């Protein structure tokens, strides 16, 4: 019986090979997209899961009234360990603030991610050197390790794990150190690194003024995290009072701590941006919807084919076949199509995977051991077979023998309504994707065309390891740089306008607040073409500018409620700064975050190190100036020596748009796929409709109806369905895109054009698709359709 059913299934599929090809092709395309989404979702949600402490590791963060941060003072780690027995381990981690050059003969390694950790942090984060974790012999000693990839660059022929002597920085400095061994760097971890420096203790254990370390806790099983969080907050406030940091007891009520689990760090950190998480959810929903549309397509076409199978069902029932047997037969047919679609989907996914990896900057692979797809695909095959096939199988097996053998092959009114409803649903989803894509494009176009408040073009950021906190130290470097033709200005700062700044507490006009700070040098504002609102920029003509002068932005002026800021005092880092200028707000942190109140000073004892060199170079002379800089860099900046590296500031700033550009690409692909699948289904469905109504069309032509009237008649029902789909999708698209736009501090107003354009495009595509199919039926001779009547 099974063999007979299989033969019948194959014959039916071959007999209707056009519909079969559309079913398998549409489903394969959707499945390929879904496979890629599943791979990406699995990858993004499994960071650090190889860490045996995964479920018990937390970061200690601090809530301030204005912001949240993952950085905390080093001595607080000791206080936590001493006061809370439910904490198993406490570790400290500090990242690198500059790119360090490491050399071995002619091999050079530029490291930008060097983690400094204590032994406890290494255990918590599962950082294990190849020879095992060794505790340094004294508090001053550090054991330096490089990742396996870094070791291969420096020692390509090394086969043992013995320590090696390397050079740090420029060759002329003569600084050497020992690399104790290698560590496997897991790219699938939040703790990605070029190298790790392990010590017994980290940080000044008495300094609560600087929040420059990350504290990691490994909790014992069964700990109440919320309760511990409250106790750590109380301890932190007490420690600040004891060390006379942070203000009075009442002022400290606005400060609290939080515990952020390791599982949240990659996608939705409490003290960070959760845009990656939102984009992952959006992509996952898109993948599910595309697959659902393909299944709907499958279901719709299977129901449309029902009349062709009516006699077969009637004869089989007369011969004694049970309904269950008929359902099984039809499900086998559908299973065969789904199985073929999965094979084709894997081929398509493999072809698209390199482009997908490039877009999301990942290294995903379908064919590797341990891939979840090996158990997920059979499950998907079973699910889509049931979703796409169970209703058509019930409809087909439900025909009554007496009626169908008399010639009554029509499906029920419920099937007709369902079929049309599914088409409306398909187009509704396609319209939502289309509107979303157009609005995303508009927002990105707005972001690229808006005035940032500073000019990133023609500005080159020079990577550097020298510290220029003293303007006198940078002055000879600046003079040498400005002698090179094409370079208009040079400056140095603690931060480059392409991300986060430092944060510190300042008091002005009787108001105390945490605001951003940037340590700068002369010509900083001129190099970036930042606009002055009041007062003046820093100038060499005023000697006090290097001691206690400050420039603030408009947001800081509003934050402190200062109407006439020039000459006013703002205090921070134990210095009374005199405000000499106010600059217009400029978007250093992109469009998602509102411009933060910021202070700019030349002297900043509590700030970071001024290492970020920026040069303004004429566009026409850019290549020549950079070549000259490279040739002369060892003379200009001896500490960097021959290691001249640079980036263009506009490219660095453009990375802030990376996630949104990924979303744009994904929605573009999703819109194309959903429209293609919907049109594919519509094309096949119209073909079926015209075949069913071929006699009606012939009679209408005999009675005098023109070709245009008949085509208009057939188009009208589909035209109405597409209009209904647009009306349904508009409110949904409005809500979704409005919510997405709300994540931007600076955004476009909701445009009307995408909604109108989506309606025009879908209606035109429907009319073209239907007209192409109906044209053949309309031009056929009526006698050919009626000669047997």
pLDDT at 531 over 90: yes
How far apart are the C-alpha atoms of 636 and 476, rounded to whole Å? 8
Q: CA of 633: how far to CAs of 139, 171, 336, 745, in Å? A: 37, 13, 67, 41
pLDDT tier for residue 783 given thresholds of 50, 70 and 90: low
pTM confidence score: 0.80
pLDDT digits (tens, 9 = 90+) for 107-150: 888 888 888 898 999 999 988 888 788 888 776 678 889 888 88
Rounded to whole angstroms, the Cα distance separating 390 from 328 reads 10
What is the rounded CA–CA span in Å between residue 587 and residue 454? 8
How does residue 3 score in pLDDT terms, banded at 50, 70 and 90? low
Whether 423 shows a pLDDT value over 90: the answer reads no
Cα(219)–Cα(229) distance, integer angstroms? 12
Q: What are phi and psi of 140, to 5 degrees?
A: -85, -25
* Cβ contact 90:230 at 8 Å: no
Assign 210 a pLDDT band (cuts: 50, 70, 90): confident
Give the residue, 78 or 201, on which the prediction is more confident.
78
**pLDDT given for residue 522 in this prediction:** 93
Phi, psi angles (nearest 5°) of residue 550: -140, 150
Q: Kindly give, in sequence order, each residue whose CB lies less than 8 Å from that of residue 218, ignoring residues fewer than 6 positions away.
A: 53, 56, 57, 87, 88, 89, 90, 91, 123, 124
pLDDT tier for residue 370 given thresholds of 50, 70 and 90: low
Kindly report, residue by residue over 448-497, the tens digit of the pLDDT: 888 888 888 889 999 888 889 889 999 999 999 999 999 999 999 988 88
Task: Determine the average pLDDT of the residues in 561-573.
Answer: 91
pLDDT of residue 209: 72
CA distance 456 to 653: 8
Mean per-residue pLDDT over the chain, rounded? 83
Q: Which residues of 438-461 are buried (b: 16+ CB within 10 A; e: fewer)?
A: bbbebbbeebeeeebbbbbebbbb
**Of 500 and 611, more confident:** 611
| More confident of the two residues 6 and 153 | 153
Is the pLDDT score of 4 beyond 90?
Answer: no
Question: With bands split at pLDDT 50, 70 and 90, how would you rate the model's confidence at 402?
Answer: low
Using the structure block, give the residue that is written with the tokens 């250093």. Answer: 588
Q: Which residue has the higher pLDDT, 405 or 509?
A: 509
Alpha helices in 450-470 (DSSP H): none
- pLDDT in the model for residue 420: 76
pLDDT of residue 401: 60
Question: Does residue 338 surpass a pLDDT of 90?
Answer: no
Write out the DSSP string of 27-81: HHHHHHHHHHHHHHHHHHTTTTTTSTTGGGEEEEEEE-SS-EES-B-THHHHHHH
CA atoms within 13 A on the CB side of 352: 20
- Is pLDDT larger for residue 42 or for residue 583? 583
Taking the C-alpha atoms of residue 179 and residue 199, their distance in angstroms, rounded to an integer, is 14
Q: What's the mean pLDDT in 759-782?
A: 80
Q: What is the pLDDT of residues 657-677, one digit of tens each?
A: 777 787 788 888 888 888 888
Q: What is the Cα 486 distance to its own chain's centre?
A: 38
Higher per-residue pLDDT: 174 or 584 = 584
Q: Which two tokens stand for residue 529?
A: 């073409």
Confidence of residue 539 (pLDDT cuts 50, 70, 90): very high
**Selected residue with higher pLDDT from 38 and 97:** 38
Q: What angle do CA 160, 165, 171 make, to 5 degrees?
A: 135
Torsion of CA 353, 358, 360, 366, to 10 degrees: 20
């Amino acid at each position: 019986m099974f063999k007979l059913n299989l033969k019948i299934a194959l014959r039916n599929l071959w007999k209707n090979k056009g519909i079969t090809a559309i079913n398998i092709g549409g489903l394969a395309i959707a499945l390929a997209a879904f496979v890629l989404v599943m791979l990406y979702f699995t990858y993004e949600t499994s960071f650090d899961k190889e860490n045996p402490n995964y479920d018990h590791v937390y970061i200690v963060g601090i809530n301030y009234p204005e912001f949240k941060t993952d950085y905390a003072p080093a001595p607080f780690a000791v206080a936590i360990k001493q006061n809370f027995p439910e904490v198993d381990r406490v570790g400290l981690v500090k990242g690198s603030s500059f790119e360090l050059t490491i050399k071995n003969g002619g091999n050079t390694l530029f490291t930008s991610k060097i983690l400094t950790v204590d032994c406890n942090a290494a255990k918590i984060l599962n950082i294990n050197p190849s020879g095992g974790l060794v505790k340094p012999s004294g508090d001053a000693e550090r054991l330096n390790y490089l990742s396996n990839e870094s070791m291969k660059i420096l020692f390509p022929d090394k086969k043992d794990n013995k320590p090696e002597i390397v050079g740090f920085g420029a060759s002329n400095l003569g600084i050497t150190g020992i690399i104790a061994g290698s560590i496997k760097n897991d790219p699938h971890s939040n703790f990605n690194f070029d190298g790790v420096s392990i010590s017994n203790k980290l940080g000044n254990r008495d300094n609560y003024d600087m929040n420059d370390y990350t504290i990691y806790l490994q909790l014992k099983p069964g700990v109440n995290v919320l309760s511990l969080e409250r106790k750590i907050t109380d301890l932190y406030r007490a420690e600040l009072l004891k060390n006379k940091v942070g203000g009075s007891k009442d002022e400290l009520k606005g400060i609290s701590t939080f515990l952020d689990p390791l599982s949240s760090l990659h996608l939705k950190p409490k003290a960070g941006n959760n845009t990656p998480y939102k984009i992952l959810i959006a992509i996952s929903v898109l993948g599910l919807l595309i697959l659902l549309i393909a299944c709907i397509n499958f279901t719709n076409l299977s129901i449309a084919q029902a009349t062709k199978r009516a006699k077969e069902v009637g004869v089989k029932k007369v011969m004694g076949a049970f309904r269950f047997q008929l359902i099984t037969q039809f499900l086998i047919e559908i299973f065969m199509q789904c199985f073929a679609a999965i094979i084709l989907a894997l081929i398509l996914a493999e072809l698209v995977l390199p482009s997908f990896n490039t877009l999301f900057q990942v290294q995903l692979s379908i064919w590797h051991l341990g891939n979840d797809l090996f158990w997920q695909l059979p499950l998907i095959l079973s699910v889509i077979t049931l979703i796409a096939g169970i209703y058509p199988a019930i409809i087909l097996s439900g025909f009554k023998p007496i009626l169908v053998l008399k010639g009554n092959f029509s499906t029920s009114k419920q099937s007709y309504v369902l079929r049309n409803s599914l088409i409306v649903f398909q187009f509704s989803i396609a319209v939502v994707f289309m509107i979303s894509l157009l609005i995303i494009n508009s927002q990105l176009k707005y972001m690229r065309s808006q005035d940032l408040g500073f000019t990133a073009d023609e500005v080159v950021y020079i990577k550097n390891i020298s510290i220029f906190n003293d303007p006198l130290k940078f002055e000879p470097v600046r003079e040498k740089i400005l002698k090179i033709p094409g370079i208009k200005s040079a400056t140095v700062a603690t931060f480059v306008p392409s991300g986060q700044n430092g944060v510190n507490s300042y008091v002005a006009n009787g108001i105390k607040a945490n605001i951003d700070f940037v340590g700068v040098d002369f010509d900083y504002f001129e190099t970036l073409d930042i606009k002055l609102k009041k007062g003046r920029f820093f100038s060499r003509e005023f000697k006090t500018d290097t001691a206690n002068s400050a420039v603030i932005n408009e947001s800081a002026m509003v934050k402190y409620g200062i109407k006439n800021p020039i000459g006013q005092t703002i205090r921070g880092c134990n210095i009374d700064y005199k405000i000499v200028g106010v600059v217009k707000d400029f978007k250093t942190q992109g469009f998602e975050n509102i411009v933060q109140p910021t202070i700019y000073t030349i002297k900043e004892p509590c700030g970071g190190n001024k290492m970020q060199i920026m040069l303004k170079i004429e566009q026409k002379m850019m290549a020549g100036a950079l070549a000259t800089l490279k040739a002369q860099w060892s003379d200009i900046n001896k500490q960097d020596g021959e290691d001249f590296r640079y980036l263009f500031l506009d490219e660095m700033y453009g990375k802030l748009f990376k996630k949104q550009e990924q979303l744009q690409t994904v929605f573009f692909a999703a819109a194309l796929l959903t429209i293609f699948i919907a049109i594919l289904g519509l094309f096949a469905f119209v073909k079926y409709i015209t075949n069913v109504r071929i006699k009606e069309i012939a009679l209408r032509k005999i009675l005098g109806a023109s070709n245009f009237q008949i085509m208009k008649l057939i188009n009208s029902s589909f035209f109405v369905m597409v209009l209904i789909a647009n009306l349904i999708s508009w409110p949904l698209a409005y809500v979704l895109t409005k919510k997405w736009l709300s994540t931007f501090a600076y955004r476009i107003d909701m445009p009307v054009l995408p909604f109108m354009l989506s309606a025009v495009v879908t209606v035109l595509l429907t009319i073209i698709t239907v007209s192409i199919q109906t044209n053949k039926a309309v031009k056929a001779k009526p006698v050919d359709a009626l000669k047997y009547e």
